Structure 1
Amino acid sequence: MILLPQAGGELRAYAPRTEPLAPSTTGPLTSRTVFSAAHVVADPYADTSPDSPAAVDWDATLAFRRHLWSHGLGVAEAMDTAQRGMGLDWAGAAELIRRSSAEAKAVGGRIACGVGTDQLAVAGRPAGSGRRTGPDPLGTASLAEIRTAYEEQLAVVEESGAQAVLMASRALAAAATGPEDYLEVYGHLLRQAAEPVVLHWLGPMFDPALEGYWGSSDLDAATEVFLEVIAAHPDKVDGIKVSLLDAQREVGLRRRLPQGVRCYTGDDFHYPELIAGDAQGFSHALLGVFDPLGPLAAEAVRTLDTGDVAGFRELLDPTVALSRHLFQAPTRFYKTGVVFLAWLAGHQEHFTMVGGLQSARSLPHLARAYELADGLGLFPDPARAEARMRALLDVHGVPR
């Protein structure tokens, strides 16, 4: 038994499981295209501060990507799960893209990489906060500067041989005066993209600085602008990633996409039903929660490949409670739980994050994440996970 702290301050005894849930199938995924957004592993020995450039443990970071590829998943690289804008700057992201893309080529793994504008300083907005904190001494970036920043990052991704994901831009959200600015910037980028890209609509629950993206806080109006961008360049859009945590809206948007344009769900609350789909279609997946769920998620999709929807849901539905816990408000700090579970699972030897983000979730939150993940059998070595959880509890003075 292990004593786990609860939100109200009391301790509750929990009996960890002794056997992991070992995936029973291998091979490629065929019925759905599935990407796991992947976290970065910090260098725990680097002498850094929260304002320092990210110090990355490259060996452990690339080893985790090999783990995902080994289960048949694609890797969505240098996106918000990798702490873009929350500890990982563009210089670090560019290095991550180059290294991971080279690794993907070496092992035959699929990779898509985030393209943004985070080399631009949106003054007065600390990374991840989205809130103005004072005067803007540098001024807001112009649309021309935003286009140039996107182009620079797109070139890095294309030169690496990876697929591009055009991410939402804090700078564009700050500079745009209306829908026409989004149409102009995205149209410019899509016209010059060498290969079809994925467009990413990231909601403000993941990044408050993206409030009003596509020119309106009215999601119906924003959806029309988003669809107009796609309709103007359907040959340059492989798909869209929707991260609004609104299943009904995603289904409605999915049904209006041009033929051949895919919907990659980014909904970490409703992914089983969205991936399973209905008589009118289904979503593929690009999900941060598949970082800790990788092997189990891959087995579920392989079950779906056989046409066994009920078996797919039987495997994946029980994971939603963990996902909802990890992504609870403030949602943007879900990365802390993801890295915590990677440490417990043995994918890294420490619970340290770039920017010191390991402090972003409380001990009761982490304890509940451990309990839910253990209940699902996600830890390859449950005894090691228990020992590491006990070590964390010891540091916090929790009695044995």
Structure 2
Amino acid sequence: MDHIITLNAGSSSLKFGLFAASQSDPALICSGIVENIGSSSAHIRLRDRDGKSLADGVSDALRDHGAALDSILNLLQIEFPHARIAAVGHRVVHGGPNNGGPVVLTPDSLEKLRQLEPFAPLHQPVNLDGAQAAMKRFPEAKQVACFDTAFHRNHPWVNDTFALPSEFYDIGVRRYGFHGLSYEYVSGHLKETATLIHGGRVVVAHLGNGASMCAMIDGRSVGSSMGFSAMDGLPMGTRCGQLDPGVVLYLMDQCSMSADEISDLLYRRSGLLGLSGMTSDMRTLEASDAPGARNAINYFTFRIRRELGAMAAVLGGLDALVFTGGIGENSTYIRERICTDMGWLGIELDHDANADNRTVISTDLSRVTLMVVPTNEELVIARAALQLMQV
């Protein structure tokens, strides 16, 4: 049987999956992740569809994404030697203004996507390096790119532009939005399991090391907290979120910081890490009594609540708020902090349901339905690869 590999590269991680390419829907065989790539604590995990561990270990050989990819592919070949790889699906963070759906990668299209690397410097290079390596490893397989920006490509113009001269919009300086694969999964899940909610005014909060919010009507994105880059909007693990551009000018002029130094500050040393002075890991922050940890959580939840009000204004009201992503799916405390005293918006949290991590965590009297939906970007990628395999 034909199989599909999915690759989902972050700045220091690489998620992967192996799917059987059944005619109806890809069937998961195994999934895994390589974390802390480039450090002495780099860790690779692989589990089968039932959660049984197939591999779990630390390796200092995982020095970069290329080495991590080689380790993943070698491990899959050992565990599943008869799997014929017919397609490899790649998460590519930036698709630019014209890619509104998945595409089959060619050397020419890969080179065009390289031109977008300045738009997403943490993610785009490793996404494309992985695709290039997979092309060499599986020359007969279709290589399919799935873009995090594609889900947002039909925004109204006012949600897609900045108040700059129009020539900048024409060369691509516009609001793109990200985390589109996660939002696409949640939208599809709601369509299958909660039709009325799917057809209404929904805000999805993807909260994790990367964090953003998306306003949807009838399952389609009409607004995103992220803009030109994956740095805008909410504070994240190490990224600053919304920032007055005057701060960047000040850092250049008064602090004599170079573009590379500012990029490092805003992408790698800010967010929860910068605010707390400790860590970007929300679990550690929640367990700490340090003032920096409290400050980081207070700012994180404040900005989410502020953005929620803005999203409700974009939608003209709110029917549902859906939490997803690592923090959104698992942190009962953060969800409680976000939803407390939001009755003016129609939100009433069921504290017991929230503590139990139920799917619906709002009370029966809440005008806004509160939900927790685990995301599955790998399945979205596998489905796109299967569809283009059949073309």
Using CA pairs under 8 Å that are at least 6 residues apart, name the structure with larger relative contact order, 1 or 2: 1
Tell me which protein shows more helix as a share of its residues: 1
Q: TM-score range by the shorter chain?
A: 0.3 to 0.5
Tell me which protein shows more strand as a share of its residues: 2
Normalised TM-score (structure 2):
0.32
